[in-house]
Structure 1
Amino acid sequence: MKSPSPHRPFRGIPLRALAPNAVTALALCFGLTGVRFGISGEWEKAIAAIVIAGVLDGLDGRIARMLKGESRFGAELDSLSDVIAFGVSPAILIYLWSLQHLPQFGWVFALAHAVCCALRLARFNASIDVKEQPHKSAGYLTGVPAPAGAGLALLPIYLWLVTGEPFFRQVYVVAPWAILVAFLMISDLATFSWSSFRLRPGFRLWVLVLVGLVGAALISAPWATLSVIAILYILAIPFSVRSYARVRRQRAAQQGAQ
């Protein structure tokens, strides 16, 4: 066995590269834990686990950039975690909660969400090294991201928990909604991202106040708050498409002038 050279120091994995990967793995664990709670019929705990996974998914990338621990391994791990936490787990939840009562085709609608989530993330990975990305360069996303797709797919459960109405649990409501969300994830529609917003200095304090109020609402009335957030997100998609179309026209005009 060849011993390490005395002139070459041992190089381990720096902690700054391990920390964001650990957060990603934790998000994966919470996503799968949602399935465990769904099997036992604890729907509130199941949704809470997926919501926590979404929060962790939003943190891992920022932690990696802050610690300068970005890596291709981390990107691949993040995509695999997203497929399970925001594709497979919500699909199983909506199937156990409602779609299992639709003979033969219920599982097909649930699979549509998981498959489209995987296709979206595969498309994202394939375009990482592509230089020409019009949506990304303008600060927009292509389609609905996986965490938001999971949140939208679970909207009927939020409304059912808020109102107790059996209408939201009917297969003729859940199945079309699942297909719509699956289509939005793999669509080419331009959707807002954090980088597409530019706040004026005078609005920063108001935004911080709004974030605090939303956090308090999530604690005191989580299902009603999640319902409102999901509905507002859906309503914002036409505005994001129109906003990107305006940016594209401005770019075309600048290129024509040049």
Structure 2
Amino acid sequence: MIPNAITAMALCMGLTGVRFAIGAEWEKALAAIIIAGILDGMDGRIARLLRAQSKFGAELDSLSDNIAFGTAPALIIFLWSLQAAPRFGWTAALALAVCCALRLARFNARMDAAEQPHKSAGFNTGVPAPAGAGLAFVPIYLWLITGRPIFQDWPLVMAWTIFIAALMISSLPTYSWTSIRIRREWRLFALAGVALFGAALLTAPWITLLALSCVYLLMIPSALASYARVRRRRAIPRLPA
């Protein structure tokens, strides 16, 4: 019950973001999606901790991700900017929602596959749904930080939305939590960094999220290089002892 309840809360927060967007309360709309992302990161770990993993929970999590990080962000971006486009504004918003659904379907289809090169090496295939939703909001972060209407112009927002949708269904290897290894001597610094990030998120949320999005995008080439090194190591035949 506990992990499934958290997943249901994430779904509700995603839809609540749409409700705030309808009322043009953009900061609250983005905050609802961010809370949904935090809840999404908790439910699976709590399920493993409590040994409460189930097929029902996996299916509910996938449906919740599709709504909270695909449908809801697409509607928020459409109401914020893309509805001003004379043509294809709704199509661009649909691209984000559809690509999120396709990515989740691909993930579910490969869940029981015997050979998963990216997953076995500790990488994701494409940008995950929560990260994709956060990246799609980059123009809104810039608009909230600067107040400049140029970041709300539909041509810029449309191009960015389609770009993020393409990243979600791409076959690019991206870092996952399992690929992060922190050396023992750096763990205290990592904990301090997490605490500072939490404080920055509360005091300057949009600047912090913008910086986090930039760091994530810059890490994609690094993930490509890291995965290439893993493939080269695997290609070297092992000699007998």
- Stretches of 4+ moved more than 2 A in 1? none
1:48 paired to 2:27: no
Q: In 2, distance between residues paired with 1:171 and 1:250?
A: 45
Is 2:12 the counterpart of 1:29?
Answer: yes
Counterpart of 1:191 in 2: which secondary structure?
strand
d(CA) in 1 for partners of 2:237, 2:48: 32
- Distance in 1 between the 2:166 and 2:224 partners? 15
> Equivalent residue for 1:104?
87
Deviation at 1:198, TM superposition (A): 1.1
| Separation (CA, whole Å) in 2 of partners of 1:176 and 1:241 | 24
User: Structure 2: any 5+ residue segments left out of the alignment?
Assistant: none
Alignment of 1:83-162 (within 5 A): 83-162=66-145
User: With structure 1 as the length reference, what TM-score do the two structures score?
Assistant: 0.92
1:216 aligns to what? 199
Give 1:14's aligned residue: none
RMSD over aligned Cα, in angstroms?
A: 0.8
* SS of residue matched to 2:79: helix
* Other structure's SS at 2:53 match: coil
Counterpart of 2:236 in 1: which secondary structure?
helix
In structure 1, the partner of 2:174 is 191
For 1:131, give the aligned amino acid.
A
Aligned to 1:71: 54
CA distance in 1, matches of 2:108, 2:102: 10
Which structure has the larger Rg?
1
| C-alpha distance in 2 between matches for 1:234 and 1:101 | 28
- TM-score normalised by L of structure 2: 0.98
Which residue pairs with 1:9 in the alignment?
Answer: none
Residue in 1 that maps onto 2:211? 228
* Match among 221, 224, 233 for residue 250 of structure 1: 233
**For each residue in 1:7-44, what CA deviation from the matched residue of structure 2 results, as whole angstroms up to 9, or x when unmatched?**
xxxxxxxxxxx110000000000000000000000000
Runs of at least 5 residues in structure 1 that lack an aligned partner in the other structure: 1-17
Identical amino acids, percent of aligned pairs: 64
Write the distance in 2 (CA, Å) between the matches of 1:165 and 1:122: 38
Letter in 1 for 2:12: C
Deviation at 1:254, TM superposition (A): 3.7
Structure-2 separation of matches of 1:84 and 1:153: 15
